[in-house]
Structure 1
Amino acid sequence: MTAKIFIDGEAGTTGLQIRERLAERRDLKLLSIPAESRKDTAVRAALLNEADVAILCLPDDAAKESVSLIENDRTKVIDASTAHRVAEGWAYGFPEMSKEQAGVIASAKRVANPGCWPQGPIAMLRPLVEAGLVPADFPVTVSGISGYSGGGRTMIEDYQGKGEDAPEYMPYGLTFKHKHLPELQRYAKLSRVPLFQPVVGNFAQGMVVSVPLQLSHLPKVPKGAELHAAIADYYAGTKGFVEVAPLDTTERTAELDPEIYNNTNRMRLHVFFNDATAQAALVAVYDNLGKGASGAAVQNLDLMLVS
């Protein structure tokens, strides 16, 4: 049976990429709203209720409104906004987060698509917290750089309009109240709010996220090989797109290019360490519009269509 899919907000960056990924699918029928009717609540409501799965690519308040317009118990929802990522009754759409999560998503009626920034740190920290190598109350710092497409249409137009005059390296989130913090803390199983300091780079898409660890502050200091083994064991045999790079003591590597996995769903995790100084850095590389947004939404859609 052909499933009906409605992308509410298909004209935005995430919506456009989702539509491109689904355009050639013969098992799906894409419902589309005329441009002149995008603000017509009645038209949107009709499409939301007709769809088997509605994918919301909207600001938070608009996403909440769309959910409220669904009057049946049949339409499933994937919300790409931040509105429901820690909300009761919503499954978190990171299938590789645990061995059970893909099944949770498959059976869910409401799925909150993860943010791009939290997925890498969650993927690296959660295995270490569960293994007892990093305490839940450890003071975690997260930093990294992402392409400007993560800022949506306004930032894309700003960067492209400025050309060579666009900032090469622009830190933000300097009030330390970033909207991704609640999901990062909850799903990494941290009891303390992480210090998160992101950066936008002058490239369109792709990202590298880093979690530096001062291991000497721990009562029992783990070796770098122990950190790597815990993360590798966590993902061993799992289906999905998260992979762990081999343990390496290299000084530098081209594999940390933020654009290396663009237009894919791949997420590759690295562990770098110095046992003599009891220091380590966990690094994740992935596409902020692939595994970080549109690709993740399609992955979740496929899981939900199976059930």
Structure 2
Amino acid sequence: MLPKVFIDGEAGTTGLQIADRLRQRSDIDLISIDPANRKDIDARARMMNMADAVILCLPDDAARLGVSLVTSKNTIIIDASTAHRTASGWTYGFPEMDKGQRAAIRASTRISNPGCYPTGVIALVRPLVMRGLLPPAHPVTVNAVSGYTGGGNAMIAEFENADAPNYTSDTYRIYALGQKHKHPPEMMRHGRLANLPMFTPAVGRFAQGMIVEVPLPLWALPRKPRRADLYAALADAYNGERFVRVVPLAESERLTGLEPEGCNGTNRLELYVFGSDDQARLVARLDNLGKGASGAAVQNLNIALGLDEWAGLEA
């Protein structure tokens, strides 16, 4: 019998992308709720408890409610919201984060899908902290820009629907100006940082794709690492990974710029080490709806169900 998978919140941006990735699969049974019953708690609970795996694509409070509706001890829950990314009892769904992370995901029934921005930050800084090149207490700054689909249906309408009352012609916009954002605690915990990083996000007038950048003044770090040292730490951490590519220094040096849409439609995460031996620019590029959301959820689902990890995903 094929494992049954239910997406709670299938009509949202992430839910639709996950459904598209799963619908053509022959190794799972994707079950759906009648659209008329999407807000019926009892109907949702029935669907969840008959499923082998549930993917929550909901706002935080609705995700917490969704978890409470699952009474079956065998049902795997993958939560794409921010509600459980630093919560006790939940396994962080970034398989490449550590050598033992896949085994932890495989053994868990509560998996939190990483955020798109934190995926890039953690991928860049965690290996450096673990190798002693970046002190956990170093004041880390994160500069990043994402496509507007990261804001969900409301922001998509804001950028795409000229008839919408909040339609905007902005080409680029910074936000979270009061430094109150849900991502830094996730970055801090899983990046092994001692303090919240300073996070300066922006949104651009493009649908998908993102760039996450961590600038590092190497001269200010205690061990004064060179750019090659940072590259070596990243290359070693992700050696053999299909979805994470650490771009060779020689290839990076040939680039004169980097646009954010280069990984769109894939589950690929590209890591770059630009700069010099005095000042390094660590950069991650990914699809905010791919490795940053739906692709990561499908990868976690595959691992948790014991299926081919690469099924339904493009590197």
TM-score (norm 1): 0.96
| Matched residue, 2:145 | 145
Once the two structures are superposed, residues 260-302 of structure 1 have per-residue CA deviations (whole angstroms, 9 ceiling, x without a partner) of 1101000010001212xx1101000110000000000000000
Mapping for residues 155-194 of structure 1, pairs under 5 Å: 155-162=155-162, 166-194=169-197
For residue 221 of structure 1, what is the amino acid of its counterpart? K
Partners of 1:253 and 1:233 in 2: how far apart? 26
Shift of 1:165: 5.1
SS of the equivalent of 2:274 reads: strand
Matched, 1:199 2:202: yes
Runs of 4+ that moved beyond 6 A: none
Shift of 1:210: 0.4
CA contact (8 A) 2:209 2:286 kept: yes
Shift of 1:149: 0.1
SS of the equivalent of 1:306 reads: coil
Matched, 1:246 2:248: yes
Shift of 1:257: 1.8
Please identify, of 81-90 and 228-237, the stretch whose mean Cα deviation from structure 2 is larger. 228-237
Paired residue for 1:219, among 217, 222, 246?
Answer: 222
For residue 44 of structure 1, what is the amino acid of its counterpart? R
Partners of 1:11 and 1:97 in 2: how far apart? 30
For residue 206 of structure 1, what is the amino acid of its counterpart? G
SS of the equivalent of 1:97 reads: coil
2 and 63 in structure 1: CA distance in 2 versus 1, 3 angstrom threshold: same
Partners of 1:165 and 1:80 in 2: how far apart? 27
Length, aligned pairs only: 303
User: Unaligned regions of 5+ residues in structure 1, if any?
Assistant: none
| Matched residue, 1:96 | 96
Mapping for residues 29-44 of structure 1, pairs under 5 Å: 29-44=29-44
Shift of 1:251: 6.9
Partners of 1:265 and 1:77 in 2: how far apart? 21
For residue 290 of structure 2, what is the amino acid of its counterpart? G
| Matched residue, 2:48 | 48
For residue 302 of structure 1, what is the amino acid of its counterpart? N
User: Unaligned regions of 5+ residues in structure 2, if any?
Assistant: 308-315
Partners of 1:250 and 1:108 in 2: how far apart? 41
CA contact (8 A) 1:142 1:210 kept: yes
For residue 7 of structure 1, what is the amino acid of its counterpart? I
SS of the equivalent of 1:259 reads: coil
Partners of 2:139 and 2:274 in 1: how far apart? 19
SS of the equivalent of 2:249 reads: coil
Partners of 1:181 and 1:218 in 2: how far apart? 22
Paired residue for 1:264, among 248, 266, 287?
Answer: 266
Partners of 1:253 and 1:49 in 2: how far apart? 52
Partners of 1:288 and 1:253 in 2: how far apart? 23
Please identify, of 203-212 and 216-225, the stretch whose mean Cα deviation from structure 2 is larger. 216-225
SS of the equivalent of 1:293 reads: helix
Shift of 1:13: 0.1
CA contact (8 A) 1:224 1:271 kept: yes
TM-score (norm 2): 0.93
| Matched residue, 2:72 | 72
